[in-house]
Amino acid sequence: MGVLKSFSLIGITALSLGLAACQKPEQKQANTSATSAGTPVKTLSIGYQKSSLNLLVARQQALFEQQFPQAKIEWREFPAGPQMLEALAVNAVDFGYVGNTPPIFAQAANKDLRYIGYEVVPEQSQALVIPANSSIKTIADLKGKRIAVQKGSSTHELLAKVLQKAGLSWTDIQPIWLPPADARAAFDKQSIDAWSIWDPYLSAAELDSNAKVLTSAADFPKTYSFYIANPKFITEHPQAVTQFIGGLNSADQWILKNQTVALDIYAQSTGLNKTIAQHVFDRRLKPSPIQTLTPEVIQTQQNIADLFQQVQLIPQKINVQDAVWTLPSKQ
């Protein structure tokens, strides 16, 4: 259990930074204009990351414009989940996409959110990488090494699991807390020894920087990414959740039928070269549907939360189920 001690409250602290600057200008107007379940959405703000192909395709194909014909769709890009949840906490985002760890820290920090859907994470899309010429041969060799990771991200949890498996604690390494772009620069300069990261940054490092995978998420139990909603927004627009998930699954089906074009969209939307985009695309599950949370998925999240609380990574016990959206019963 000592391996996770230094996880501490870092993710919680990160969630509270920079909130005021993210305020959504039209949120007040959108919220006050809709006070009943049947009122159409006027403004919809979606937080996305480069790792969400379904969202990128939905944007390019205007699929949410079809689901929300009277709404102005706003798109906000974030480098990682913690930053996206900062924006959601101040009503700058209505729906967003995150990994498994950020919402746990957010809920533990009393941030209000709702899990509305999940997607299975491809096994090879998260990994701990090292330079090609590294002297590190096994995960036990990570002792004393400088390892970069985005605080509170899904690969923060991956690094924790790697250290636990190696029998190491956080005090046995030098964690370097960096967002993906800064971590990539440090990796290329070899000012860090290893990097815990996800796609597309992972594929870019493998192909552009000859990064070598030391271990990946494939060495651990299945993990999930999540679609998160602003509770205030979906209380005022309960029908919006079904519409949003419908748009996502329309995108997933479109990708299956138009894989060559989908790859082009992904490359253009992310700015990745075609080779790297293809690498990420090949790892993607096909199909990769978005579903409402099952008891198994909720329990997986609860297990992570319980462990974090047990080793004092979060200040209080949380009940993940409390943050899970359920389909309103028909009257």
User: pLDDT tens, 249-268?
Assistant: 999 999 999 999 999 999 98
- Is 328 a domain residue? no
If one counts the domains in the chain, the total is 2
Same domain, 198 and 253: no
Same domain, 166 and 293: no
- Is 150 a domain residue? yes
Question: Which of 192, 185, 194 is CA-nearest to residue 212?
Answer: 194
- pLDDT score at 29: 34
Asked if pLDDT for residue 82 goes beyond 50, the answer is: yes
Determine the residue type at 17: L
- pLDDT score at 22: 42
Per-residue pLDDT reduced to its tens digit, 173-222: 999 999 999 999 999 999 999 999 999 999 999 999 999 999 999 999 88
Check if the beta carbon of residue 125 is closer than 8 Å to that of residue 200.
Answer: no
Model confidence at 31, pLDDT cuts 50, 70, 90, reads very low
Last residue of a domain, one of 181, 203, 219: 219
Model confidence at 81, pLDDT cuts 50, 70, 90, reads confident
**What is the rounded CA–CA span in Å between residue 205 and residue 213?**
10
Q: Look over the chain and give the mean of its residue pLDDT values, rounded to a whole number.
A: 87
In angstroms, the first-to-last Cα distance of the chain is 48
Same domain, 172 and 251: no
- pLDDT score at 311: 67
Contacts 24+ apart (CB under 8 A), 31-39: 31/91, 31/232, 31/233, 31/236, 34/236, 34/237, 35/236, 37/237, 37/238, 37/239, 37/328, 38/239, 39/236, 39/237
For residue 130, give the 3-state DSSP assignment.
strand
Asked if pLDDT for residue 165 goes beyond 60, the answer is: yes
Average pLDDT of 134-145? 98
Question: Which of 267, 291, 268, 289 is CA-nearest to residue 278?
Answer: 267
Return the bridge partners of 225, or none.
119
**Looking at residue 93, which CATH number applies to its domain?**
3.40.190.10
Same domain, 80 and 140: no
Question: Which of 75, 70, 110, 115 is CA-nearest to residue 92?
Answer: 75
pTM, 2 dp: 0.81
- Residues of the chain with pLDDT > 70: what percent? 87
Asked if pLDDT for residue 8 goes beyond 70, the answer is: no
Question: Which of 130, 181, 122, 186 is CA-nearest to residue 159?
Answer: 130
Same domain, 116 and 252: yes
Model confidence at 233, pLDDT cuts 50, 70, 90, reads very high
- pLDDT score at 240: 96
Determine the residue type at 160: A
Domain that holds residue 205: 128-219
